[in-house]
Structure 1
Amino acid sequence: MSSTRTATADDLVAEFNLNAVQAESDLKPFRFLWASKADPNRRMTMQHMEGLNVWPLMAAADNGDAAAMAGIFRVALGDEHWEEFRKTPLPQYKLKALFKAYQKHSGQEPGESLASSDS
């Protein structure tokens, strides 16, 4: 009997090496102040937008723009800090200003989102 050889992953040619891709910027975190009753100078830190895990962002984007924005903040802050962030009431105008500043810090154009299905 003759056996046929099947190629293993190491034998296959790759058209693109995703493992070798590096960020184009230094991915510095974004820091902002958001007072709570207990801490008037509370500092919050979000991961750089370009470094966020895209899978939960894309899932949140399926539920519209507001859900996409909330998904970005949740992933950027991390679960523990997200819960802390949500304990203080947040007017919409402040959320919009925060998101614009975060986009600018991350090198994104206003209105552009990593969670957008059109990008």
Structure 2
Amino acid sequence: MTKVTDIKKHTKNTVIYPNLKSAFRPIPLNEKYTVHVSPNQIEIIDHPSEDIEDEYGEFPSNSPSKPHLLGQEELNDLIRDLHLTKQPSEILASMLKRILNQKRLKSVFTGNKIPENFLT
């Protein structure tokens, strides 16, 4: 290895760098290799969302309008795919059941609100 601890500004030309593929050697600056200078100000270009068009167009909906309810086998597959342990999987199942029960309860009444006196 090259000892560079005693190198001064006026003796830096005496340093001999090894010719190894893994060694990074300094590159002399010239027209071909220049130092990149970052801009002082960053220009932010604002694109209105209406001007941007989706390259895929509109997504066709082949799925039914009703939500897909998970069966026990599909829930087990989801838990396995997410690599959940016992406690997080029980929490997920509990949350899904609560959401399902709320949706069923909402469908019984007209409108989106449950009457206040129903739960009391």
TM-score bracket for this pair, using the shorter chain length: under 0.3
Which of the two has higher C-alpha Rg? 2
Which structure features the higher share of strand residues? 1
Give the TM-score normalised by structure 2.
0.18
Q: Which has the higher contact order (CA 8 A, sep 6+)?
A: 1
TM-score, with length taken from structure 1: 0.18
